[in-house]
Structure 1
Amino acid sequence: MRNTYLYLALGFVLSGQLAAHAQGPATAKTSKPAPAAESAKTIAARTKGYQKFDGFFPFYWDEKTGTVLLEVSRLDQEVLYVSSLPNGVGSNDLGFDRGQIGQTRIVKFIRSGPKVLLLQPNYDFRAVSDNADERKSVEQAFAQSVIWGFKVEAQEGSRVLLDLTPFLLRDSHQLAKRLAAMNQGAYKADESRSAMFLPNTRNFPKNSEFEAIITLTGDAKGQEIRSVTPDPDALTVHMHHSFIELPDANYQPRRFDPRAGFFGTDYMDYATPIDQPIVKRLINRHRLQKKDPTAAVSEAVEPIVYYLDRGAPEPVRSALLEGASWWNQAFEAAGYKNAFQVQLLPEGADPMDVRYNLIQWIHRSTRGWSYGASITDPRTGEIIKGQVSLGSLRVRQDYLIAEGLLQPHETGKPTNPEMMKMAVSRLRQLAAHEVGHTLGLYHNYAASTLDRSSVMDYPMPRILLRPDGTVDLSQAYAVGIGGWDKRAILYGYQDFPKGKQEEQELQNIINQTLKDGYVFIADEDSRPVGSAHPYAHLWDDGQNAADELNRLMDVRQKILANFSEKAIADGRPMATIEEALVPIYLLQRYQVEAASKAIGGLYYTYAVKGDGQTTTKFVAPEDQWKAFAALMRTISPAELALSEQLLQKIPPRPVGYPSSRETFTSRTGLTFDPTGAAESAAATTLDFLLNPQRAARLVEYHARDNQQPGLGQIIDKLLDQTWKSKPEDGYRGEIQNRVKTLTLNSLLGLAASSQSPANVKALATLKIEELKDWMSKQAKSAKRDEQKGTLLAGLNTIKQFEANPDKFQPAPALPMPAGPPIGSEEF
Structure 2
Amino acid sequence: MKTILTQKRWLLLLLPLLSHMAFAQKFPDIASKTAGLKKYDGFYTFYWDEAAGKVWLEIDKFNQDFLYINSLPGGLGSNDIGLDRGQLGGQRLVYFEKVGPKVMLVQPNLDYRAITENKNEKRAVDESFAKSILWGFKAEATDGNKVLVDATDFLLRDAHDVTGSIKRSRQGTYKMDASRSALYLPRTKNFPKNTEFEATLTFTGGDDAGNFVREVAPDVQALTLRQHHSFVQLPDAQYKPRVADPRAGYFGLSYFDYATPVDEPINKTFIARHRLQKKNPNAKISEAVKPIIYYVDNGAPEPIRSALLDGARWWNQAFEAAGYKDAFQVEILPDSADPMDIRYNMIQWVHRSTRGWSYGATVQDPRTGEIIKGHVSLGSLRVRQDYLIAEGLLAPYGNNKTGNKAMMDMAIARIRQLSAHELGHTLGIMHNYAANNNASVMDYPHPQVKLDRAGNIDLSQAYGTGIGEWDKVAVAYGYQDFGNRTDEKKALDQILEDGRKRGLAFISDRDARAAGGAHPTAHLWDNGSNATDELLHVLKVRKEALKKFSEDNIKTGAAMSTLEDVLVPIYNYHRYQTEAAAKLVGGVNYTYAVRGDKQVVTEVVPKKDQQQALDALLQTISPDVLMLPEKIINLIPPRAPGLRNNRELFSKRTGVTFDPLAAAEASADFTFSFLLHPERASRLVELGARGNNLSLHEVTEQLMDQTFKANRKSGMEGQLQFLTEQLYVTHLMGLTQNANASYQARAVANASLQAIKSFASREERRTRNAAYKAHLAFILARIENPEDIKPAKQIDLPPGAPIGSSETMGCE
Q: CA deviation at 1:39?
A: 8.2
Aligned with 1:104: secondary structure? Answer: strand
Q: CA deviation at 1:38?
A: 14
Report the counterpart of residue 114 of structure 1 in structure 2.
Answer: 101
Change (3 A) 1:678 1:472: same
Report Cα offsets for 1:555-609 as digits up to 9, x if no partner.
1112211211111111101111111111111110000000000111110000000
Report the counterpart of residue 796 of structure 2 in structure 1.
Answer: 815
Is this contact kept in 2: 1:530–1:688, CA < 8 A? yes
Q: CA deviation at 1:783?
A: 2.0
Alignment pair present for 1:519 and 2:500: no
The one of 780, 789, 801 equivalent to 2:765 is: 780
> What residue identity is the alignment partner of 2:643?
Y
Report the counterpart of residue 137 of structure 2 in structure 1.
Answer: 150
Distance in 2 separating the partners of 1:423 and 1:823: 13
> What residue identity is the alignment partner of 2:458?
D
Report the counterpart of residue 473 of structure 1 in structure 2.
Answer: 459
Report the counterpart of residue 61 of structure 2 in structure 1.
Answer: 74
> What residue identity is the alignment partner of 2:796?
P
Distance in 1 separating the partners of 2:806 and 2:342: 27
Report the counterpart of residue 11 of structure 1 in structure 2.
Answer: none
Q: For 1:550-699, list aligned pairs within 5 A.
A: 550-699=536-685
Q: CA deviation at 1:124?
A: 0.5
Q: CA deviation at 1:178?
A: 2.4
Report the counterpart of residue 274 of structure 2 in structure 1.
Answer: 286
Aligned with 1:110: secondary structure? Answer: strand
Is this contact kept in 1: 2:319–2:476, CA < 8 A? yes
Report the counterpart of residue 155 of structure 2 in structure 1.
Answer: 168
Is this contact kept in 2: 1:748–1:810, CA < 8 A? no
TM-score between both structures, scaled by the size of structure 1: 0.93
Alignment pair present for 1:65 and 2:52: yes
Q: Percent identity?
A: 53
Range with bigger deviation, 438-447 or 172-181: 172-181
Is this contact kept in 1: 2:273–2:428, CA < 8 A? yes
Alignment pair present for 1:83 and 2:70: yes
Q: CA deviation at 1:211?
A: 0.4
Is this contact kept in 1: 2:590–2:601, CA < 8 A? yes
Alignment pair present for 1:196 and 2:177: no
Range with bigger deviation, 814-823 or 437-446: 814-823
Aligned with 1:709: secondary structure? Answer: coil
Distance in 1 separating the partners of 2:576 and 2:33: 64
Distance in 2 separating the partners of 1:420 and 1:551: 24
Report the counterpart of residue 432 of structure 2 in structure 1.
Answer: 444
> What residue identity is the alignment partner of 1:350?
D
Change (3 A) 1:815 1:501: same
Aligned length: 784
Q: CA deviation at 1:376?
A: 0.8
Aligned with 1:118: secondary structure? Answer: strand
Distance in 2 separating the partners of 1:509 and 1:816: 42
> What residue identity is the alignment partner of 1:695?
A
Alignment pair present for 1:739 and 2:724: yes
> What residue identity is the alignment partner of 1:758?
Y
Is this contact kept in 2: 1:745–1:811, CA < 8 A? no
Q: CA deviation at 1:415?
A: 2.4
Distance in 2 separating the partners of 1:257 and 1:63: 53
Report the counterpart of residue 25 of structure 1 in structure 2.
Answer: none
Report the counterpart of residue 22 of structure 1 in structure 2.
Answer: none
TM-score between both structures, scaled by the size of structure 2: 0.95
> What residue identity is the alignment partner of 2:416?
R
Aligned with 1:45: secondary structure? Answer: helix
Report Cα offsets for 1:451-472 as digits up to 9, x if no partner.
2200000001001011111111
> What residue identity is the alignment partner of 2:287?
E
Q: CA deviation at 1:339?
A: 0.5
Q: For 1:214-253, list aligned pairs within 5 A.
A: 214-221=201-208, 222-253=210-241
The one of 403, 413, 417 equivalent to 1:415 is: 403
Range with bigger deviation, 454-463 or 552-561: 552-561
Distance in 2 separating the partners of 1:579 and 1:772: 40
Q: For 1:206-355, list aligned pairs within 5 A.
A: 206-221=193-208, 222-355=210-343
Q: CA deviation at 1:80?
A: 0.5
> What residue identity is the alignment partner of 1:779?
E
Structure 1, unaligned runs of 5 or more: 1-36
Report Cα offsets for 1:225-283 as digits up to 9, x if no partner.
12211111211110000001100000010010000011110000011111111111100
Is this contact kept in 1: 2:70–2:90, CA < 8 A? yes
Report the counterpart of residue 761 of structure 1 in structure 2.
Answer: 746
Aligned with 2:248: secondary structure? Answer: coil
Aligned with 2:400: secondary structure? Answer: coil
Ranges of 4+ aligned residues in structure 1 off by more than 4 Å: 37-40, 822-825
Is this contact kept in 1: 2:434–2:506, CA < 8 A? yes
Distance in 1 separating the partners of 2:363 and 2:710: 58
State the superposition RMSD in angstroms: 1.5
Report the counterpart of residue 375 of structure 1 in structure 2.
Answer: 363
Is this contact kept in 2: 1:737–1:790, CA < 8 A? yes
Is this contact kept in 1: 2:106–2:131, CA < 8 A? yes
Q: CA deviation at 1:800?
A: 2.3
Aligned with 2:317: secondary structure? Answer: helix
Alignment pair present for 1:205 and 2:180: no
Distance in 2 separating the partners of 1:169 and 1:141: 33
Range with bigger deviation, 227-236 or 580-589: 227-236
Is this contact kept in 1: 2:286–2:324, CA < 8 A? yes
Distance in 2 separating the partners of 1:672 and 1:551: 28
The one of 772, 777, 780 equivalent to 1:795 is: 780
Distance in 2 separating the partners of 1:177 and 1:478: 40
Report Cα offsets for 1:406-464 as digits up to 9, x if no partner.
1110233352111000000000000000000000000000101xx22000000010010
Is this contact kept in 1: 2:80–2:169, CA < 8 A? no
Is this contact kept in 2: 1:459–1:539, CA < 8 A? yes
Alignment pair present for 1:93 and 2:93: no
Range with bigger deviation, 814-823 or 409-418: 814-823
Distance in 2 separating the partners of 1:414 and 1:568: 10
Q: CA deviation at 1:40?
A: 5.4
Change (3 A) 1:159 1:197: same
Report the counterpart of residue 484 of structure 2 in structure 1.
Answer: 498
Distance in 1 separating the partners of 2:97 and 2:400: 74
Report Cα offsets for 1:362-411 as digits up to 9, x if no partner.
00000000000001111111000000000000100000000111111023
Q: CA deviation at 1:823?
A: 9.3
Q: CA deviation at 1:514?
A: 1.1
Range with bigger deviation, 257-266 or 645-654: 645-654
Range with bigger deviation, 777-786 or 276-285: 777-786
Report the counterpart of residue 439 of structure 2 in structure 1.
Answer: 453
Q: CA deviation at 1:813?
A: 3.0
Report Cα offsets for 1:628-660 as digits up to 9, x if no partner.
100010111011112222222112211112321
Is this contact kept in 2: 1:363–1:391, CA < 8 A? yes
Aligned with 1:793: secondary structure? Answer: helix
Is this contact kept in 2: 1:60–1:69, CA < 8 A? yes
Distance in 2 separating the partners of 1:131 and 1:658: 67
Report the counterpart of residue 14 of structure 1 in structure 2.
Answer: none
Range with bigger deviation, 428-437 or 461-470: 461-470
Report the counterpart of residue 373 of structure 2 in structure 1.
Answer: 385
Structure 2, unaligned runs of 5 or more: 1-23
Report the counterpart of residue 3 of structure 2 in structure 1.
Answer: none
> What residue identity is the alignment partner of 2:384?
R
Q: CA deviation at 1:758?
A: 1.8
Q: CA deviation at 1:45?
A: 1.1
Distance in 1 separating the partners of 2:707 and 2:146: 79
Report Cα offsets for 1:60-100 as digits up to 9, x if no partner.
00111111011111011011100000000000110000010
Is this contact kept in 2: 1:371–1:434, CA < 8 A? yes
Report the counterpart of residue 177 of structure 1 in structure 2.
Answer: 164
Report the counterpart of residue 15 of structure 2 in structure 1.
Answer: none
Distance in 2 separating the partners of 1:636 and 1:351: 52
